[in-house]
Structure 1
Amino acid sequence: MGGTADTAAALGWAEYWRDDTRGLEAMHARFRDHVYAPHSHDAYSFGVTDAGAQQFHCRGALHTSAAGMVMALNPDDPHDGRAAADLGYHYRIVHVSPQIVRAVLADAAGVADATDFAGRADLDLTADSGARADLSLPAGGVGRADLDLAAGGAAWGDLSLPASGGARADLDLAAGGAAWTGRSGESGQSGQPGPSNHADPFAAAAPLPLFTTPVLGDRRLADAIAGLHAALAADASPLARDERLRAVILGAHLRGATRPPRIRTLADGAQRMAACRARDLMREAYPETLSVELLAEAAGCSRFALYRAFAAEFGMSPSDYERQLRLRHARALLASGSTPADVAAATGFADQAHLARWFKRAYGITPGVFVRGGHA
């Protein structure tokens, strides 16, 4: 991920990062006179106003985001933007591709892979928020979809599809607020265009969220967005980035979308077993950095279930535990006489300053004070 800074303008500045491999973008800016022309993004946008205030037109109304407020925009939501205060505004924003959002939601729902939805789909759709189910059924056999439509009375709909080529059924089960399922360039909920669900095997299991309120007053979500932005900008570990990305997507979905995400959790015994398996693998593999895919495979559960289980059992996230292993190793090396610079290199910190910063955050003292304390 690269970064560039535009500091020439006296009235504002902007920093920008992009990770093309993951479909992520992040920007950190301060503007006073800059005016955004009407535009939209092909991604979800989650931002937080740090200082000042900004206002923008979106979804037929004028919205103002003051300090501490969150902005949540759907893909293809047209909007503009300008300062709403004399001193301008300071904000951070992250753009996340619909594919990443869908993958995170499918993982939280416990959907392992596309084969879970090949040929037969059993969907439990809530009564108060009708939905749109996009079912793609494989070629070569009669596809069957049994839909539980809990709208008033429990109704069953059996859809038999012909055995020719791959058949697809677009079922509009609209009632109230729904999922974001429109094909790009076509109408989604409320006549707004949305990302395509076609060719996506997780479409029915993890419908994309729809945010109808572009500005939210949610301190916890604001902190999560700031944390994700910091992880992207500071080249945090892949594990830390993944944790924070999931926290933003699921947090925004829970607190700002028209319907909550589907979440599958582990029973108590399975939860402890999953957490212990992941922890044991991290201990055995240290100092190797493990991917979240390997940890989830070892734990025998989804990434979401792993993160939740680990925090419940050990009081910290896997990335926090990974850093703790490195810090404990650093203490041992410092005590044995290694220099802070050598210790930083041996324990996976970017440099001596990076080690010192985390060492002090964890133990309240710098590595130098720790070393001198052993000579007293």
Structure 2
Amino acid sequence: MTSDNPSAGAGVIEPPGTKRRGDWIDVAEDAIPFERIEAFFAGRAYEPHRHDTYAVGQTLSGIQSFHYRGAERTSLPGGTMVLHPDEVHDGQAGGEHGFRYRMIYIEPAAVQRVLGGRPLPFIKDGISSDPRLFAAVHALLPATDARIETLEFEDGLFELAHALEAAAGGPAKVGGALNYRAAERARLYLHDLPDGTITLETLEAVSGRDRWGLSRDFRRLFGTSPYRYLVQRRLEAAKVNLRHGVPAAQAAVDAGFADQAHLSRHFKKAFGITPGRWLRMAEMPAGTEAEQA
């Protein structure tokens, strides 16, 4: 990890390189299991979409604009973006020179391993000026060519979870008891991408918790519904195959989607861009089918 001092020259980085023209995305190759990117967009970046992860990041240069919870937000260098799981947002440049940013997508389950079953912290406006939170996020966002070691990330995750909770106003009050163990059993089952049709009745049997109580607890603990969690895991599996040159039609079926169109529809809904555009911007191998997705 880089040794940048977040309190000195916050938001000041080296100028963008000349290796690319137009919009681009770099994906870090880390030992950690969560996607970490650096990207540049000159204009419109993403259509409205939502993740089932925290999207935590910092704008490096330019003005980053996005619609979130009924208002237009602006991210500038020196602040922190925290988009809560399952909240719809888009993204575009707020100025003529575009914007460059870094982002890490962290599953709520990882935050829960630190919080131990407390409700997820919520930064209501999606933007924070909290210095502790800035430092915690900055530590997890070195340049994409700097590899983060597993233990290093786990230390950073511990600090991030507590910084998020503090920035959100402290531990949230729980409205009714949450059954974390049952929800975690259901999450682990979905995470393994089971075959066949999955219903709340299936998850009731897996978790030992009544289906509606489980559905409520799952949302409170992991920030999204069981179905959307399953779809996101399928999308992540498809992205891995696409990055390795698997044709989009085959990647879709292998991940559990009905066909390529089914994959493309969910991909754009989750990430705000098509599979083909994502592959092109990331400069990854793309077959003809993926390019047309």
Q: Which has the higher contact order (CA 8 A, sep 6+)?
A: 2
Q: Which structure dedicates a bigger proportion of its chain to strand?
A: 1
Q: TM-score w.r.t. structure 1 length? A: 0.38
